[in-house]
């Protein structure tokens, strides 16, 4: 089995794409920004509609989806984070986004292969709740990532950290220990630039999927490289061209003729 050389893409060539169970927040819609982002970065996302009124029902739905799909990683957002904590998920890693565990459910501890993303500026679920969860679980401070500026965590920077957390945990790697402080900060940059300018996308010629890629401005104004499509694993030659205004154009052509 060979891993695609694309950046942060969760697929194994010639194998199955990795599955992710996404448990949405209270009154959130299925197919929101976060599950869509994960889907666009190669995961097969199972995003079941959870009952907003009855928490036990939501847990039953989450459990049924887990049992049926056997995901490689479970992501729970806010109330969905509490659902994620309250389902039986064995050794499957958990990524929790500002989990509302004090409001819903009975579970007050986390397994060891888990990461929490939470902003200290969250005005819906207090950041301190995640600090408390960490201490209940006797997990190292690196388990809690200081991310974003609000409860939604739908900004580019938070989405990228969420993807990084999923990739890290399902690969079984250890959480990097940070020397300089108790928490890792992923607060978005304050330079007024749009974070989205660091990404581009191209359409895979072989399967027609839109592939989002990180753009590295340090590699010159004209770039070409070969990358396996994260969806169909066929090789594309990816071209990146910058214009004078800081914008970029990305396109791809097949490395070889498949017809
Ligand atoms: Zn493709």
Q: Express each pLDDT in 80-90 by its tens digit.
A: 999 999 999 99
Domains, the chain, with CATH or none: 2-185 (3.40.50.1820), 196-254 (no CATH)
How far is ligand 1, taken at its centre, from the CA of residue 133, in Å?
A: 41
Q: Which residues make up the environment of ion ligand 1, defined by Cβ < 5 Å?
A: 204, 206-207, 229, 231-232
Q: Which residues pair with 89 in a beta bridge?
A: none
pLDDT score for 197: 55
Residue 154 — φ and ψ, nearest 5°?
Answer: -105, 5
- pLDDT the model gives residue 178: 53
Quick check: 231 and 16 in contact, CB under 8 A? no
- Tell me the CA–centroid distance for residue 233 and ligand 1, in Å: 6
How far from 233 is each of 5, 47, 93, 178, 211, CA to CA, in Å? 10, 24, 25, 34, 12
Q: What is the mean pLDDT of residues 133-145?
A: 94
Per-residue b/e over 156-165, b at no fewer than 16 CB within 10 Å?
Answer: bbbbbbbbbb
Closest to 251 (Cα-Cα) out of 204, 198, 195, 209: 204
CA of 58 to the centre of ligand 1 (A): 35
Contacts of residue 181, defined as CB under 8 A and 6 or more positions apart, other chains included, come to none
Nearest to 88 by CA among 79, 71, 120, 143: 71
Distance, CA 127 to ligand 1 centroid (Å)? 40
From ligand 1's centre to the CA of 203, what distance in Å?
A: 8
The pLDDT tens digits of the residues spanning 248-257 come to 788 898 887 6
- Name the pLDDT band for 160 (thresholds 50, 70, 90): very high
**What's the rounded mean pLDDT across residues 180-184?**
40
Residue 217: DSSP 8-state: G
Q: What is d(CA 206, CA 38) in angstroms, rounded to the nearest whole number?
A: 21
Confidence of residue 194 (pLDDT cuts 50, 70, 90): very low
Give the Å distance between the CA of 251 and the centre of ligand 1. 13
Quote the ligand 1 centre to 214 CA distance (angstroms): 17
CA of 254 to the centre of ligand 1 (A): 9
Tally of CB atoms within 10 A around 174: 8
Query: For residue 15, what pLDDT is reported?
Result: 47
Pair of tokens at residue 228: 């396996």
User: What is the pLDDT at residue 246?
Assistant: 67
Measured in angstroms, how far is the CA atom of residue 236 from the centroid of ligand 1?
A: 8
For ligand 1, the distance from its centroid to the CA atom of residue 213, given in whole angstroms, is 13
């Amino acid at each position: 089995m060979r891993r695609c050389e694309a950046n942060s893409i969760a697929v194994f060539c010639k194998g199955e794409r990795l599955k992710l169970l996404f448990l949405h927040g209270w009154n959130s819609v299925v197919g929101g920004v976060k599950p869509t982002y994960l889907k666009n970065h190669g995961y097969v996302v199972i995003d079941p509609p959870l009952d907003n009124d009855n928490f036990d029902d939501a847990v039953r739905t989450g459990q049924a989806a887990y049992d049926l799909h056997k995901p490689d990683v479970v992501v729970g957002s806010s109330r969905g984070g509490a659902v994620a904590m309250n389902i039986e998920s064995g050794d499957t890693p958990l990524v929790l986004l500002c989990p509302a565990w004090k409001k819903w459910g009975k579970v007050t501890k986390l397994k060891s292969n888990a990461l929490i993303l939470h902003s200290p500026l969250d005005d819906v679920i207090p950041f301190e709740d995640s600090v408390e969860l960490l201490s209940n679980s006797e997990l190292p401070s690196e388990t809690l990532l200081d991310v974003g500026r609000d409860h939604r965590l739908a900004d580019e920077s938070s989405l990228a950290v969420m993807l990084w957390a999923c990739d890290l945990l399902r690969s079984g790697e250890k959480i990097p220990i940070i020397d300089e402080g108790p928490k890792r900060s992923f607060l978005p940059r304050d330079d007024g630039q749009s974070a989205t300018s660091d990404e581009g996308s191209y359409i895979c010629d072989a399967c027609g999927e839109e592939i989002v890629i990180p753009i590295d401005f340090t590699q010159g104004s004209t770039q070409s490289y070969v990358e396996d499509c994260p969806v169909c694993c066929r090789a594309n030659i990816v071209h990146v061209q910058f214009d004078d205004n800081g914008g970029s154009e990305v396109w791809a052509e097949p490395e070889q003729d498949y017809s």
